[in-house]
Amino acid sequence: MGTTMNDDGWVDALGAEELPEGGRRLLRLAGREIALFHVDAAYYALDDSCPHAGASLAGGRLEGKHIVCRAHGLRFELATGCMARVAGFGTPVHPVRVRDGRVEIRLPIERGATIPILSKETP
């Protein structure tokens, strides 16, 4: 089973009602683990891997618009993926939009490619 990236490069991730305010979801899309957060009426998507030790960021502690890695306590801004107060060190972020009640994430893959969805889970 898979989904297809639409013509303008966005991947359908889930229904907006599936992720309540303050929630998070770990998604496996296009061979990537993506941590999706819903904070202050906005959605944020970033690679689910701390660049320091590879720990899951989706399982970290949410502090406002920052996620704290559970392995060593490093703090990353949800909007930029950058480690707080350390320029140039972070995890990739992905644009997110809500369209027709669906949350869509733009991933760096070829348009029109079939994207396998291995699982959707909440940590």
Q: pLDDT at residue 2 above 60?
A: no
Q: Where are the domains of the chain?
A: 2-121
CATH homologous superfamily of 2-121 equals Rieske [2Fe-2S] iron-sulphur domain (2.102.10.10)
Q: pLDDT at residue 31 above 90?
A: no
Distance CA 17, CA 34 (A): 18
Distance CA 43, CA 114 (A): 24
Residue 57: name the closest of 87, 28, 37 by CA.
37
Q: What is the DSSP code (8-state) at residue 59?
A: T
Residue 67: name the closest of 97, 98, 108, 34 by CA.
34
User: What's the mean pLDDT in 11-30?
Assistant: 95
Q: Give the tens place of pLDDT for each residue, 76-118.
A: 999 999 998 887 889 999 999 999 999 999 998 654 555 544 4
- Cross-sheet strand order for the sheet of 75-77: 61-63, 66-68, 75-77
Give one DSSP letter per residue of 93-119, joined into a string: EE-EEEETTEEEEE-SS-TT-EEEEEE
Q: Give the tens place of pLDDT for each residue, 38-75.
A: 999 999 999 999 988 889 999 999 999 999 999 989 99
Pair 91, 81: CB distance under 8 Å: yes
Please tell me whether residue 17 adopts helix, strand or coil conformation: helix
